[in-house]
Structure 1
Amino acid sequence: MTEQRYRSHTDSIYGELDVPTVVNAAGTKTRIGGSLIRDEALEAMHSAASAFVELGDLQAAASDRISEVTGAEAGYVTSGAAAGLCLCAAAAIAGHDVAAMDQLPDTEGLPGEILMPRTHRTGYDHALRTAGATIVDVGTNDLHLGTGSTSVEPWELESNITDETAAIAYIEKSYTEPPLDVVADIAHDHDIPVIVDAAAELPPRSNFSRFIDQGADMVVFSGGKGIRGPQTTGIVAGKQEYIESIAMQHLDMHVAEAAWSPPKRLVDLDNFAGVPRQGIGRPMKVGKEELAGLISALDAFLAEEQSETQREWQRRADDIAHGLEDAGFETHVTGGSDVSVAPEVVVDVDSSSETTALELVRRLRAENPRVYLGGDKLDEGIVVANPMCLTDEEADYVVDRIVANVEN
């Protein structure tokens, strides 16, 4: 294996811009481009670029497809999952009130609090706060103390619901609690929605409907990770009333009311007092090309043989592990987990060489092409190789470059 195969990218747009490409063994990370967009999606985007279309009509078509796939009442395409979370928060706060929409992100006089179990808090909470929401932490971290209690009890969520509560936000991971259906029952008893962040929870395809079935009112997925649509797309699936609010706060509203006729299957005008101003979602607009690409990628994702894809990932992960083990590294291969839907190769660098995991990651990212490994456990001397975004040839290259950059 040589670097020549990858240096051929010097003939691409990246070469013209003098930007090094990345051999991606880190997975669908936004900072290195997410995933590789499907050919079907690129073709759809090229076709969509050839004509004009009313974006509301295109969003209505996307809504129909998302509803069919997820079992939700309606759906919407956003400019990424974080934008989807922001728009979900805006919908929970403003509802059908056009004056409230105009007021956001100022929530004075509006129910602007979103409850979150403390262990669900992440840096992505900023997307909720962008809409004007105030996050209210609920629970403790007792679980990590080994006391036998859980971090968040259902009664704690219920006791924190007030007239200021707009929604409960929930991060879907295997370690999060209470169970989503329990949280949804509590929320619905108080007539507030549950927003689920499931950005990276595809595959499996069953997750499209899983969270809706458990009572979620709005669920957010990334369009540019496992689906392999345009990187700047996301999906919201949920109740019609919230999708309507999202649409009204996102679509271009520079229109005379007498001439305003959004598609009825997306927006029921009887629910609104008039045409809203340009909403908080205006900076998050989605183009016709991205919408068409996402719909096409979604169809291709659904048509894939999921078990075959999983077997391919497993084989590639095993090959990487065997190659590194032959070079003296301690490795093990995980199953799909709460962090990655694919098996991953965990490499104990510090125990296997005189080079630290941090030094290895820095060296690989300084090469041309750059090689990216998962670096979330560098403090433990560990790097992770994810097979999702690699070809077999690239997997061999990753092994070669790791071996070449350590001192035994």
Structure 2
Amino acid sequence: MKRRDLIKYLSVAPIAGAAIGTGVPFQALAGTATAAAKRDVIKELGLRTFINAAGTYTTMTASLMHDEVVDTIQSASNHFVMINEVQDKVGEKIAAMCHAEAAMVTAGCWSALVLGTAGVLTRMDRKKVALLPNLSSFEKTEVIVQKSHNVGYVHALTNTGIVPVEVETAEEMERAITSKTAMMWFLNSSGPMGKIKHEEFIAIGKKHNIPTMIDMAADVPPVENLWKYNDLGFDLVCVSGGKAICGPQSAGILMGKKDLIAAARLSAPPNGGNLGRGMKVNKEEVLGMYVALEKYINTDHAAEWKMWEDRVATIVNAASKVNGVSTEVFVPPVANHTPAIKISWDQSKVKITPRELLKNLQNGSPSVEVMTGPDAINITVFMLKKGEDKIVAKRVQEELAKAAVS
């Protein structure tokens, strides 16, 4: 066979046979090539990875998903399903787990706040849905909020066009309620600062037949909070999915009264031409959120807490070995309610500022992220992987020891 004929033959020959001269099937070679070609995109792009001893902050990509969640996402990506059917089925499961009448997966807690407020404003009136955030023809346009709760997160509500009305006491709240009052909003992380507590807040809402919403974005653990506020009587409960629950970071949950969840879904994808169109949640996230929530609820939380305390002890013991260093273990009262450590030092004995220590930890190998205050660093342990507490302990001790005056 002439050379050109051989080339022509090889160009049309089936590739299912053995590789010429090797006796190895082409499929095996193809499989090897595929395995070798698997990409590490984070390394490829030169992105810095780090040990997260800071917490579930959005800027640090919050939490890591469990294998079961990732497997669910990957499996779901191989199938077409109707997104409304996914929301229906998952919503039923989440509602049952969290003692709510109904639920839906949202594009984070912020999306839950926006869509929940939209549902309160429009109910099942599709003409009103199309008008948001233009409330010029709406009778109810105000949301009552305690002054200590009226912080940046209220902007999620004002996306719908509503106007916040500030109050401080129950008496002020009673006087502030008018025919324009659409909803009452409670920011759970600010609960200790407000003068109106949960039960009284709900009671006033029920007395005047006004829906109440609670934002408890980062307020698990304890796990019981997932149903506590539904049981107390809040009409809508909003929570982040990508923090301690370890679901997709861009997912959240809106749960509560059946009629209000149905109304909220009118402003959410796949419906178009409305306020929430950009708040899309794909099937992978919805299903991943469901599996993450199920796993979180069924976790042995007592054992988990003991593990966190052991990690805290490891870091405290290491840092305390440096002369002039003090440690304090604390648990935030509401948001990120997990054991944490405040490490401070006498700067006449340890010549480094908290900011400098943070930078040294960031720039070390491995890189470690912590949080800083004016005179200390703060460390949380619930986002650490197994064994990382020892690494954090070693790195913190090293940097403090290097700065210690001999």
**Structure-1-length-normalised TM-score:** 0.84
- Does residue 296 of the first structure (1) align with residue 291 of the second (2)? yes
Residues 342, 378 of structure 2: 8 Å contact kept = yes
Match of 1:65 in 2: 93
**1:121 Cα deviation after fit:** 2.2
**1:45 Cα deviation after fit:** 0.6
- Does residue 117 of the first structure (1) align with residue 123 of the second (2)? no
Change (3 A) 1:386 1:299: same
- Does residue 390 of the first structure (1) align with residue 381 of the second (2)? no
1:231 to 230, 249, 262: 249
2:223 to 190, 200, 205: 205
Change (3 A) 1:162 1:366: farther
**1:402 Cα deviation after fit:** 2.5
Change (3 A) 1:394 1:132: same
Distance, in Å, in 2 between the alignment partners of 1:295 and 1:29 is 21
Per-residue displacement from partner, 1:181-218 (whole Å, max 9, x unpaired)?
21111112222211100111112221111101111010
The correspondence of residues 70-219 of structure 1 with structure 2, limited to 5 A, is 70-110=98-138, 111-139=140-168, 153-173=169-189, 175-177=192-194, 178-219=196-237
Residues 113, 134 of structure 1: 8 Å contact kept = yes
| Percent of residue pairs identical | 28
**1:299 Cα deviation after fit:** 1.3
Per-residue displacement from partner, 1:159-192 (whole Å, max 9, x unpaired)?
1112221111101135143121211111122222
- Does residue 310 of the first structure (1) align with residue 305 of the second (2)? yes
Change (3 A) 1:169 1:156: same
**1:124 Cα deviation after fit:** 1.7
Identify unmatched segments of 5+ residues in structure 2: 1-38
Residues 314, 393 of structure 2: 8 Å contact kept = no
Match of 2:353 in 1: 356
| Equivalent position SS for 1:20 | coil
**1:335 Cα deviation after fit:** 3.4
- Does residue 402 of the first structure (1) align with residue 402 of the second (2)? no
| Equivalent position SS for 1:284 | coil
Residues 108, 251 of structure 2: 8 Å contact kept = yes
- Does residue 320 of the first structure (1) align with residue 315 of the second (2)? yes
75-84 or 338-347: bigger deviation: 338-347
Identify unmatched segments of 5+ residues in structure 1: 1-10, 140-152, 254-276
- Does residue 14 of the first structure (1) align with residue 14 of the second (2)? no
Distance, in Å, in 2 between the alignment partners of 1:155 and 1:53 is 51
Distance, in Å, in 2 between the alignment partners of 1:181 and 1:204 is 19
**1:358 Cα deviation after fit:** 2.1
Change (3 A) 1:392 1:63: closer
Match of 2:27 in 1: none
2:338 to 330, 333, 342: 342
**1:23 Cα deviation after fit:** 1.0
Distance, in Å, in 2 between the alignment partners of 1:340 and 1:291 is 23
Change (3 A) 1:350 1:59: farther
**1:125 Cα deviation after fit:** 1.7
The correspondence of residues 210-289 of structure 1 with structure 2, limited to 5 A, is 210-253=228-271, 278-289=273-284
**1:392 Cα deviation after fit:** 4.6
**1:132 Cα deviation after fit:** 1.7
Per-residue displacement from partner, 1:27-83 (whole Å, max 9, x unpaired)?
111111111101111111111101111111100111111110111110010011111
**1:319 Cα deviation after fit:** 1.1
- Aligned residue type for 1:305: D
**Structure-2-length-normalised TM-score:** 0.84
2:362 to 356, 362, 365: 365
Distance, in Å, in 2 between the alignment partners of 1:280 and 1:368 is 45
Distance, in Å, in 2 between the alignment partners of 1:374 and 1:219 is 29
- Aligned residue type for 1:357: P
- Does residue 374 of the first structure (1) align with residue 371 of the second (2)? yes
- Aligned residue type for 1:136: V
Residues 120, 264 of structure 2: 8 Å contact kept = no
**1:157 Cα deviation after fit:** 1.2
RMSD (CA atoms): 1.7
Distance, in Å, in 1 between the alignment partners of 2:301 and 2:52 is 21
Q: How many residues align?
A: 359
Q: Rg: which structure is higher?
A: 2
